[in-house]
């Protein structure tokens, strides 16, 4: 069966949902922002009028207001966005059961089996866009292609409220002239490496020497070369089908700068308890710990290290995280945000090899499972570590449940 893939991208999603509730703002420059008090004071979304002032997603609010002094800033309300995201997916589900989310406002649809019922890919894309406008009041851009990578690229090419078709016959004329950074999974670091080799466009990448790309980027070089040539056979998952868990992590931007090791340890404990609880909930343990650090100059890096044994115990995660931190951070600047991630996952029901001088790991696991049960029954703050009481403003978060929803770019 011939594949027909759609990528549906809801235009300026957060901003347009907010305008539905405040229609008097429709013709004014509007942005949705993070929580300034929690130091998430950045632009999360902007409407078409705000885009005309060259306001960019991710820039600071004060920078955006310098470009547009009359800019209207609205706080994010994720309950609204989840509601409209579900409404949009319900419309898509009328055309296929193969719907794979790519963040709250983007989805891939495989409609190859629907053509006989609903028409061509372009006809289905146009019907979906029309129903979005008429039934839920928002617009979308849709890319239509024979693979996921080009469908995503198509939805980015024309905004707002447009359908772009990329075929096996026209992709060289349509895709190869675009900047290489427009290709999915080409982040800033990869772009810099490719540009340093005079690979400026997707066509340059498609025609580059494969051996050179593999030396430059490793296996990702070969993968990107295939994508640039339209060689993507990845499937669109069935609705509700879970992806294989590769890692479990969490990060936060602190409410104040982290200026010493004790600050870092407190936040690591908050994050590690979240990660450990999610590992236990998934029936998994991790064998590798990675930490991510970003200082006040916004310089960031990640380091990782192997554990002596697989674990889902938060104390073990923090111990390794602090070891990595002490080995690699020199306090040239205070820290703004940190993260911790468990990877190299294994099932939790495997046998435990106890070292001769180790404390009883089974007892530690039972203790953490008991804490899970107490928090389930009486709330997250019903039981806390004493050290976290030193600064409740810094540690008073529940990262397992208090999520900020952002689009996901898996490999960037």
Q: Which residues are catalytic?
A: 106
SS3 per residue for the chain:
CCCCEEEEEECCHHHHHHHHHCHHHCCCCEEEECCCCCCCCEEEEECHHHHCCCCCCCCEHHHHHHHCCCCEEEECCHHHHHHHHHHHHHHHCCCCCCEEECCCCEEEEECCCCHHHHCCHHHHHHHHHHHHHHHHCCCEEEEEECCHHHHHHHHHHCCCCCEEECCCCCHHHHHCCCEHHHCCCCCHHHHHHHHHCCCCEHHHHHCCCHHHHHHHHCHHHHHHHHHHCCCCCCCCCCCCCCCCCCEEEEEEEEEEEECCHHHHHHHHHHHHHHHHHHHHHHCEEEEEEEEEEEECCCCEEEEEEEEEEEECCHHHHHHHHHHHHHHHCCCCCCEEEEEEEEEEEEECCCCCCCCCCCCCHHHHHHHHHHHHHHHHHHCHHHCCCHHHHHCHHHHCCCCCCCCCCCCCCCCC
């Amino acid at each position: 069966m011939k594949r027909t893939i759609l990528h549906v991208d809801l235009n300026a999603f957060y901003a347009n949902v907010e305008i539905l509730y405040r229609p008097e703002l429709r013709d004014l420059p509007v942005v949705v922002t993070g929580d300034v008090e929690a130091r998430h004071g950045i632009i999360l979304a902007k409407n078409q009028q705000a885009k005309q002032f060259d306001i960019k997603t991710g820039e600071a609010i004060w920078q955006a207001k310098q470009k547009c002094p009359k800019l209207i800033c609205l706080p994010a309300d994720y309950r609204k966005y989840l509601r409209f995201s579900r409404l949009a997916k319900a419309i898509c589900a009328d055309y296929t059961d193969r719907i794979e989310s790519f963040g709250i406002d983007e989805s891939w649809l495989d409609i190859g089996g629907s053509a006989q019922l609903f028409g061509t890919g372009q006809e289905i894309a146009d019907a979906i866009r029309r129903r979005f406008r008429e039934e839920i009041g928002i617009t979308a851009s849709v890319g239509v292609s024979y693979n996921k990578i080009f469908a995503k690229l198509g939805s980015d090419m024309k905004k707002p409220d447009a359908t772009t078709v990329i075929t096996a016959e026209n992709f060289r004329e349509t895709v190869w002239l675009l900047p290489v950074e427009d290709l999915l999974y080409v982040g800033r670091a990869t772009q810099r490496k490719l540009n340093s080799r005079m690979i400026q466009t997707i066509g340059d990448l498609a025609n580059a020497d494969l051996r050179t790309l593999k030396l430059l980027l490793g296996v990702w070089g070969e993968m990107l070369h295939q994508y640039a040539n339209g060689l993507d056979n990845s499937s669109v998952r069935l609705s509700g089908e879970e992806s294989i868990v590769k890692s479990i992590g969490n990060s936060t931007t602190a409410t104040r700068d982290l200026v010493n090791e004790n600050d870092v340890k407190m936040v690591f404990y908050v994050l590690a308890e979240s990660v450990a609880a999610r590992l236990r909930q998934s029936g998994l343990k991790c064998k590798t710990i990675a930490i991510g650090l970003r200082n006040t100059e916004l310089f960031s890096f990640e380091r990782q290290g192997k554990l002596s044994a697989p674990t889902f115990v938060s104390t073990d995660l923090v111990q390794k995280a602090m070891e990595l931190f002490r080995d690699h951070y020199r306090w040239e600047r205070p820290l703004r945000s940190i993260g911790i991630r468990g990877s190299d996952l294994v099932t939790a029901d495997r046998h435990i090899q106890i070292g001769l001088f180790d404390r009883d790991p089974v007892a530690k696991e039972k203790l953490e499972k008991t804490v899970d049960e107490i928090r389930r029954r009486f709330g997250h703050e019903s039981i806390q570590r004493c050290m976290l009481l030193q600064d409740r403003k810094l540690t008073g978060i529940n990262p397992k449940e208090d999520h900020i929803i952002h689009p996901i770019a898996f490999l960037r």
